[in-house]
DNA sequence: CAGGCCTGTTACACTTTCGTCGCATAGGCT
DNA sequence: AGCCTATGCGACGAAAGTGTAACAGGCCTG
């Protein structure tokens, strides 16, 4: 559970028919799909949705796929997201490679959907290897997703399921500010409707749990924006 | 030919990313891993390395996994080696079954690495029951897979078959939290339909058995997640 | 074929956790 | 300072998760 719930894919393709087919297949594979039909929207959605992987068409009006790719790979906070490029011609792959855009994989149209799915899964595994044996750490907090145990210093903490998921989410990207909406999405799940204030309550409970043996408050409130760790 | 040392696995998968992840996990599990990315090499390596178990991708260029499997199961000297097939789609499993290739187990992609590891261990146990006198231990619980005997301290415990398998599963990875679904899969087997609450009941029975001579409860309930040992 | 063991399901009690509300408090802006 | 909004926090009814006893059916054994 590098992140709770489904892996997220951002699908950027200007041709509606192809996009629909791909989206359908990706969802059938268990991905949560966000769609964009141009590069500009894609850049915005990357920040909003924080996808685990991006599938990017090479030829698009306005901001081309290759440009999106180049920009994303320049920013440290998005560099780690795997990008799979779709290109219409085999010769273009060489250009893509030559341009050193930093795409992580390439698939040539016409591609086999099955193949693309396989490559998407492969990239996902590469970045997120089933969280095997990973222990999240931040300052004196340690969290082992496998055993579901949380330590603060020498003490073992007892957290409820939601507090646990919340902490996992925050610890996966320490310092990053999550909006209440994002947290609802990541911790509770997309199509669950609960008041955003509920997040506040659970953050409060998490704080209390984390500080029950003393220590400083590791959760930072960013007024008007959300919460972050550290 | 009970062999000493690490169990050997031959991993045949043409997709580099997936192969790498699997190899990593298998090594973490204590296997000595030999890798191949095609069926031809696999056939050679079977003779050279004499693996205890083979994990075989179904779709591969040249000699397909299914063909490798068929050939190995025809030769008396390799017939005994368990083969786990990886297949990309559920429908293919039926084909594998129908073709009577003799694969001993199959896992559908995208699979859980944990599940694959568990199945690999299970196959290994089946063929190599001695496991060279390996006895699972956790705190004061000892479990001898060969004699099917379980000890708690000085006492011998009598467990039912399901309780036993459940305990084996938990003891193979002490501390790890297993969801009810995972336990159903690993203990009862896939394609068995039983209510998840049944797991609760059997965990309860296992607990009673484990504590019949006193001692603390070694099974940890993780609310909203599942059960773990210790 | 009777008896015992094991199994899966169900029902009920109990506990924990959840989501919301109301009000107190803190932060920022004019 | 004064106002307004965002946030913290205690309380509470509701919902969900879990432990366990009881029961009925299946399987094997003697």
What is each CA distance from B153 to A66, A113, B143, B211, B216, in whole angstroms? 65, 56, 11, 11, 12
Asked whether residue B208 carries a pLDDT value surpassing 60, the answer given is yes
pLDDT (tens digit per residue) in A70-126: 888 777 677 778 888 887 665 555 555 434 566 777 777 666 666 677 677 667 766
Selecting from A126, A132, A161 the residue whose C-beta is nearest the C-beta of B223 gives: A161
- Mark residues 116-175 of chain B whose C-beta is closer than 7 A to nucleic acid strand C: 158, 160-163
Does the pLDDT of residue B190 top 80, yes or no? no
B187 pLDDT higher than 60: yes
Residue of A30, A122, A133 lying closest to B28 (CB–CB): A133
Kindly provide the ipTM of the predicted complex, given to two decimals.
Answer: 0.62
Q: Which residue from B145, B140, B193 is spatially nearest to B167, judged by alpha carbons?
A: B145
B194 touches strand C (CB under 7 A): yes
For residue B23, the chain A residue with the least C-alpha distance is: A129
The answer to whether residue B216 scores a pLDDT higher than 70 is: yes
A185-199, B123-137, B214-228: least confidently modelled range? B123-137
Mean pLDDT (whole number) for B131-153: 76
Query: Can you give the pLDDT at residue B4?
Result: 47
Question: Is the pLDDT higher at A16 or at B145?
Answer: A16
CB proximity list for B173: less than 8 A, separation 6 or greater: B229
What domains can you pick out in chain A, each with its CATH number? 8-127 (3.40.50.2300), 136-229 (1.10.10.10)
Give the whole-number percent of chain A exceeding pLDDT 90: 21
pLDDT band at A192 (very low <50, low <70, confident <90, very high): confident
Which range has the worst mean pLDDT, A194-198, B75-79, B201-205?
B75-79
pLDDT at B219: 93
The CA-based angle A117-B36-A113, given to 5 degrees, is: 15
Question: What is the reported pLDDT for A164?
Answer: 94
**Average pLDDT, stretch B63-74?**
82
- For residues B26-46, average pLDDT: 83
* Closest CA of chain A from B177, distance in Å: 5
- Average pLDDT, integer, range B14-43: 81
The CA distance from A37 to A61, in Å, is: 9
CA distance B1 to chain A (A): 33
Is B58 or B206 the better-scoring residue by pLDDT?
A: B206
User: In this complex, do B177 and A147 lie within 8 Å of one another by their Cβ atoms?
Assistant: yes
Q: Which residues of A touch B218 (CB under 8 A)?
A: none
Give the Cα separation of A9 and B90 in Å (integer).
23
Torsion sign, CA atoms B105, B110, B115, B120: positive
pLDDT at A132: 45
**How many CB pairs below 8 A link A and B?**
52
Query: Would you state the torsion angle of the CA atoms of residues B96, B99, B102, B108, taken in this order, to the nearest 10 degrees?
Result: 0
Q: Cβ(B112)–Cβ(B186) under 8 Å?
A: no
């Amino acid at each position: 559970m590098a992140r709770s719930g489904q892996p997220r894919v951002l699908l950027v393709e200007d041709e509606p028919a192809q996009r629909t087919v791909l989206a359908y297949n990706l969802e059938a594979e268990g991905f949560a799909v966000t769609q964009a039909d141009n590069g500009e929207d894609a850049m915005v959605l990357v920040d909003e949705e924080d996808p685990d992987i991006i599938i990017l068409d090479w030829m698009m009006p306005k901001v081309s796929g290759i440009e999106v790719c180049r920009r994303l790979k320049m920013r440290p906070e998005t560099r780690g997201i795997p990008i799979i490029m779709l290109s219409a011609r085999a010769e273009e792959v060489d250009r893509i490679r030559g341009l050193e855009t930093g795409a992580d994989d390439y698939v040539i149209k016409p591609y086999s959907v099955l193949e693309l799915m396989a490559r998407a899964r492969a990239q996902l595994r590469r970045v997120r290897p089933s969280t095997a044996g990973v222990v999240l750490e931040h300052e004196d907090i340690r969290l082992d997703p496998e055993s579901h145990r949380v330590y603060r210093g020498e003490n073992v903490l007892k957290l409820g399921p939601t507090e646990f998921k919340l902490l996992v989410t925050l610890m996966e990207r320490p310092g990053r500010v999550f909006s209440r909406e994002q947290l609802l999405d990541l911790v509770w799940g997309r199509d669950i409707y609960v008041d955003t204030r509920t997040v506040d309550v659970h953050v409060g409970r998490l704080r209390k749990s984390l500080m029950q043996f003393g220590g400083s408050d590791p959760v930072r409130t960013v007024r008007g924006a959300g919460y972050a760790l550290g």
